[in-house]
Structure 1
Amino acid sequence: MHKTVFLVGLGLIGGSIALAIKKEYPDCKILGIDIDEEQADIAKLLTVIDDKVETIEMGASAADFIILATPVVQTLSLIDYLSKMELKQKVIVTDVGSTKQKIVEHAADKFGTDKIFIGGHPMAGSHKSGITAAKPHLFENAFYVLTPSNNTDPAAIDELKKLLKGTKANLIEMAPDEHDSITGVISHFPHVIAASLVHQAERFNHEYPMIKRMAAGGFRDITRIASSSPTMWRDILLHNKEELLHLFNDWQHEMDTIRALVEAEEAEKLHDYFIHAKTYRDGLPQRQKGAIPAFYDLYIDVPDYPGVISEITGYLAKEQISITNIRIIETREEIYGVLRVSFQNEEDRKEAKACIEKYSDYDTFFGD
């Protein structure tokens, strides 16, 4: 594919898309720019891009594809900027934002027929950020949602899918409003719930100081996503406002329902409530990449004694298995084992389980 791709934003997502395209199409010319010039310099040094450009105009005017790998607020501003520029006829512009309807509507309003906008959302990420964390397989087997408008030329959609072939993602199409409804339920609102649980714990911590220490187990795990970028989530919630307002009402109804069951001491109905939740949750796909990044944790049932961490890391080092985090769990209700080790992907986690069982008698659990 002898095309020129211009990437605006050279962080984890933009860099990984660039690497995936280059791996599939070595003849593609990839230009890049980032608000952080050092990121752009590193991207060029690591050959993530072929050349960095000094201005948006320089890259956009030469491009057959323009990928806006920026936060949603900046994406709207960039659409405004691009709409006033002379670009190649039928240039295809796409983005990577977590909300779609406002962005797609804004592009439809600003772009003429000579510019084609197709919304995009690669549903994958990492605990790391920046261009140095980029990898060509980041999106492999993840959902990559495309949200074309009703009048988008099918040939242009096919062209974009062809460009993204190297991501090895599951490319699917859906309407922008459908995307925002789905991600609102399974991603955006859960982030609100996680943050609210943390706020609640902090309030009670003044009365019960041990909360902070005892929350280091399951509570910390179920609220992990509350550690995501505050700026990003502020913008996402404001851009998906209508859907979230509906979900707030729905959640309030859910809480009123379960509160009434507790208040009335409806033992059988409470049991059924949790049975229904367990059944649905247990039927969800395991380890498939979705709206919220999966956590690849391995729990190891070891005695809590000095040196146990170095013992486990020694086993993993023998097999050259990399870890992202390791710690002793103090609060272990519903958790299998004293030690939790986190990995970058499912393959590493499986290899680590086999490795530890090979060198020791310790029991290991995925705990999904």
Structure 2
Amino acid sequence: MKEESDFKKITIIGVGLIGGSLGLALKKKNPKFKISGIDKLEIIEKAIARGAIDEGTINLENGIKEADLIIIATPVKTILDLLPRINPFIKKGCLVTDTGSTKGQIVETAEKILSKDVYFIGGHPIAGSEKYGIEEANPCLFQDKTYILTITKDTNLVALKKILLLIKIINAKRLILDPLEHDRIVGAVSHLPQIMAVSLTNMIGELGQLENSDNYFKAIGEGFKDMTRIASSPYQIWEDICETNQENILKMIQEFKNYLRIIEDKLKNHPGSLKEEFQKAQIFRKSISLPKRDD
């Protein structure tokens, strides 16, 4: 028997790439969902035209009135700013979640600020892109992608079950973590790669400028493009991530520097020993797969 969500009204605050894609994915799977959006007027108009939301407003109170589920799909610091602002207008029993890329501060703030009869579960879909905006929203963005939920000792299990069903509806794969564990892990597998992509891109750009030569750019192949694709990501998002996960990112930078020294030493003294590193990386890379669905 097919399970159906009992959310009658879903409000998405921030109808950009992630919020818009969630709206499109949910409407595609269940056109009966009533989805309201809160954003700037021009974004609301585009989101309605694309079918990501049924209605929209620039007014927080009007947008979340009578909502059964509120999804805050904005940058991290905006989420932190919104939580106390929306609290007075949330109805009893409402489930609130977010899509922020860091979780520690958000979950701590939500559990401290939101009313006790409102349920919060931190969320983070691992389905972003270097592109952004409602124009780039895609109903298949979450297909077979990992959707992380962060729980604590105060998490309401009924609310957790409801949001797990939504993740199933959009064909994403769930992963449940502690908020601090989440921040440590994404600091390694998401935030460090972003720092590396930015650093590598800028290094090559500066080498070209120093030598007054565009030959570096002419020689760039698909490997470099693949490694640095995310360097195009907007700083507006990464500013918040770097500030709210600074400690973990710095730890992972140090871990990478330590490993780079090992590679440097082998290259300098025993180049043939790099074969072991390459083989180890090949085996690990082939083994990478998304967590299996645990239905």
Aligned partners of 2:277, 2:167: CA distance in 1, in Å?
A: 43
For 1:223 and 1:128, locate their aligned partners in 2 and report how far apart those are by CA, in whole Å.
14
Describe how 1:204-353 pairs up with structure 2 within 5 A: 204-205=207-208, 206-207=210-211, 209=213, 210-263=215-268, 265-285=269-289
Q: Report the counterpart of residue 61 of structure 1 in structure 2.
A: 65
- What's the Cα RMSD here? 2.0
CA distance in 1, matches of 2:181, 2:120: 18
Gaps of 5+ in 1: 290-368
Q: How far off its partner does 1:6 sit?
A: 0.9
More helix by share: 2
Give distance in 2, aligned partners of 1:259 and 1:137: 42
Report the Cα distance in structure 2 between the residues aligned to 1:164 and 1:279, rounded to whole angstroms. 30
* Amino acid paired to 1:61: K
TM-score norm. by structure 2 comes to 0.89
Counterpart secondary structure, 2:65? helix
Rounded to whole Å, the distance in 2 between the matches of 1:68 and 1:267 is 50
Corresponding residue number in structure 1 for 2:117 = 114
Q: How is 1:63-212 mapped onto 2 (pairs within 5 angstroms)? A: 63-83=67-87, 85-126=88-129, 128-205=131-208, 206-207=210-211, 209=213, 210-212=215-217
Alpha-carbon displacement from aligned partner over 1:60-94 (angstroms, at most 9, x marks no partner): 222111110111111111112123x1421121110
Code of the residue aligned with 1:57 in structure 2: it is E
Distance verdict in 2 for CA 1:198–1:45, change over 3 Å: closer
Q: What's the CA shift string for 1:209-242, capped at 9, x where partnerless?
A: 1212212443233211111112212221221111
Structure 1 pair 24–203 and aligned structure 2 pair: CA distance change class (3 A): closer
Distance in 2, matches of 1:65 and 1:167, equals 15
**Conserved 8 A contact 1:91-1:116:** yes
Structure 2 CA distance for partners of 1:217 and 1:29, relative to 1, 3 Å: closer
Higher relative contact order (Cα pairs below 8 Å, separated by 6+ residues) = 2
2:36 to 6, 23, 31: 31
* Deviation, structure 1 residue 186: 1.2
Residue 107 (structure 1) shift? 0.9
How many aligned positions are there? 284
Q: Per the alignment, in what secondary structure is the counterpart of residue 10 of structure 1?
A: coil
Retained in 1: the 8 A contact 2:125–2:142?
yes
Task: Select the residue among 24, 40, 47 that pairs with 1:43.
Answer: 47
Provide, for residues 29-71 of structure 1, a one-character-per-residue CA deviation record: whole Å limited to 9, x for no partner.
211111x311101222333212112410112222111110111
The verdict on how the C-alpha distance between 1:155 and 1:31 changes in structure 2, with shifts beyond 3 A counting, is same
For the pair shown, the structure with the greater C-alpha radius of gyration is 1
- CA deviations on 1:314-339 (whole Å, 9 max, x unpaired) are xxxxxxxxxxxxxxxxxxxxxxxxxx
Q: Matched residues in 1 for 2:29 and 2:217: separation?
A: 48
SS of 1:223 mapped into structure 2: helix
Q: 1:6 aligns with which of 1, 6, 11?
A: 11
Indicate if the aligned counterparts of 1:73 and 1:235 stay in contact, CA closer than 8 A: yes
Residue 3 (structure 2) aligns with:
none
> Any conservation in 2 of the 1:76–1:106 contact (CA below 8 Å)?
yes
Structure 2 gaps of 5+ residues are 1-5
**Identity percentage of aligned residues:** 37
What secondary structure does 1:99 align onto?
coil
8 Å contact from structure 1 (residues 2, 27) kept in 2 = no
Deviations 1:245-269 (A, max 9, x none): 1112211211222222233x21342
Query: For structure 1, which segment, 237-246 or 270-279, has the greater mean C-alpha deviation from structure 2 after superposition?
Result: 270-279
